[in-house]
């Protein structure tokens, strides 16, 4: 199952970039302060790139924007806050795969309609997952993990940053497509998970490339595969899952800017232009790519279409795998 098409998204960026003069429109947009909601705690994998984007938009446009962290319930609380805001352009936020595409199928009760309660402003970045093991592991490749799983169903323990995360569902997708029985060990974060995979408590761990990259570089874990269709720039020698016989396998986390439904078209156009303009900045692009992310961009319409496709894709993965939140 193909979850993510990098070439397609790259074309979105080219199609949407500088469709309108962003600075001029943004200067006429508002003199009030915009609240940019990050639905996760400060300093994390969503907060840092969100603040980098906001800083660049402020520098380019002169807009007044404050970042507000509103964590909880897998991002649902922060996204609900954005969805319930007045659609005047003064309340926007950073959505991502989990709270916009995964949670609607995973949670029995979610406080918003992920597709219809938001205005799609634009895609920001994407990044694959990385599967790692400990340096002394008997598994030298993902192929050996798969072979061991087939010989001993259920014996391979895999850690993730939590049930229902993109990392968890990416491994469940691998198990479904490979007809493998793996045992999931969810963790509340990466610290204990890395400690356990280093000591062999779990056989492998899957997390976002930025989250495991420092441990790979420190030599405390050994990468086995990345979930993108092509090797990642910061892990160029690590093979893809697809290269182990899973043709078309491509699973990734993405981030995007949204606002409440019903925002005026001219404001959406201004914010989309400001996003694309920021993504043209080489400094921001280098910051994003340094941790394994790929800058995206594109029009709001292209983001809305992609979001609808992602909702269907992840719903199918959840149904096929039987994944649930613990």
pLDDT in tens, the chain (326 residues): 333 343 344 334 333 333 334 444 445 567 789 999 999 888 888 899 999 999 999 999 999 999 999 998 878 899 999 999 999 999 999 999 989 999 899 888 899 999 999 999 999 999 999 999 999 999 999 999 999 999 999 999 999 988 888 999 999 999 989 999 999 999 877 788 889 999 999 999 999 898 899 999 999 999 999 999 889 999 999 999 999 999 989 898 999 999 999 999 999 999 999 999 999 999 999 999 998 999 999 999 999 999 999 999 899 989 888 777 75
Residue the block writes with tokens 């096929």: 320
Name the DSSP class of 99: I
Distances (CA, A) of 141 to 74, 148, 165, 218, 247: 31, 11, 24, 19, 17
pLDDT in tens, 231-269: 999 999 999 999 999 998 989 899 999 999 999 999 999
On whether the pTM is more than 0.85, the answer is: no
CB 128 within 8 A of CB 252: yes
Q: Is 301 helix (H, G, I), strand (E, B) or coil?
A: helix
pLDDT in tens, 111-143: 999 999 999 999 999 999 999 999 999 999 999
CATH 3.40.190.10 fits 128-244, yes or no: yes
Q: Are the folds of 34-126+252-321 and 128-244 the same? A: yes
Instruction: Name the residue ranges covered by the structural domains of the chain.
Output: 34-126+252-321, 128-244
pLDDT the model gives residue 28 = 57
pLDDT the model gives residue 13 = 38
Give the Cβ contact number of residue 59 at 10 Å: 13
- Count Cα neighbours of 173 within 13 Å in the Cβ-side half-sphere: 28
pLDDT the model gives residue 322 = 79
Give the Cβ contact number of residue 80 at 10 Å: 20
**Using CA atoms, how far apart are residues 52 and 74, in angstroms rounded to an integer?**
22
> Which long-range CB contacts under 8 A does 279-282 form with residues at least 24 apart?
279/13, 279/17, 279/124, 280/17, 280/18, 281/56, 281/60
Strand-pair category, 33-38 with 91-96: parallel
The CA-based angle 117-306-271, given to 5 degrees, is: 60
Q: Is 144 helix (H, G, I), strand (E, B) or coil?
A: helix
Kindly report the CATH class assigned to 34-126+252-321: alpha beta
Core vs surface per residue 233-247: b (16+ CB within 10 A) or e: ebbeebbbbbbbebe
């Amino acid at each position: 199952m193909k979850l993510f098409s990098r070439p397609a998204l790259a074309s979105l960026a080219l199609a949407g970039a500088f469709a309108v003069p962003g600075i001029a429109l943004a200067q006429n947009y508002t003199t009030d302060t915009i609240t940019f909601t990050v639905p996760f705690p400060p300093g994390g994998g969503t907060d840092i790139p969100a603040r980098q984007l906001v800083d660049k938009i402020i520098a380019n446009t002169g807009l007044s924007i404050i970042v507000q962290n509103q964590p909880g319930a897998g991002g649902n609380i922060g996204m609900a806050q954005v969805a319930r805001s007045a659609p005047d352009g003064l309340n926007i936020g950073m959505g991502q795969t989990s709270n916009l595409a995964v949670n609607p199928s995973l949670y029995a009760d979610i406080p918003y309609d992920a597709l219809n309660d938001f205005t799609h402003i634009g895609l920001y970045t994407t990044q694959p997952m990385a599967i790692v093991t400990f340096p002394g592991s008997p598994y030298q490749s993902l192929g050996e993990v798969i072979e061991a799983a087939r010989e001993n169903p259920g014996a391979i323990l895999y850690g993730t940053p939590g049930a229902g995360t993109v990392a968890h569902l990416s491994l469940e997708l691998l198990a479904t497509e490979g007809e493998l029985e793996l045992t999931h060990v969810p963790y509340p974060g990466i610290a204990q998970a890395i400690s356990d995979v280093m000591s062999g408590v779990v056989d492998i761990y899957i997390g976002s490339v930025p989250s495991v990259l420092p441990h790979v570089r420190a030599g405390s874990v050994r990468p086995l595969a990345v979930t993108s269709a092509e090797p990642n720039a910061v892990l160029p020698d690590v093979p893809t899952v697809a290269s182990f016989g899973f043709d078309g396998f491509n699973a990734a986390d993405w981030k995007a800017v949204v606002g409440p439904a019903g925002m005026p078209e001219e404001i959406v156009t201004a914010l989309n232009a400001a996003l694309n303009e920021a993504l043209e900045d080489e400094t921001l692009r280098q910051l994003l790519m340094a941790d394994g992310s790929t800058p995206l961009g594109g029009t709001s319409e292209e983001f809305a279409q992609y979001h609808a496709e992602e909702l269907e894709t992840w719903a199918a993965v959840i149904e096929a795998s039987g994944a649930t939140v613990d």
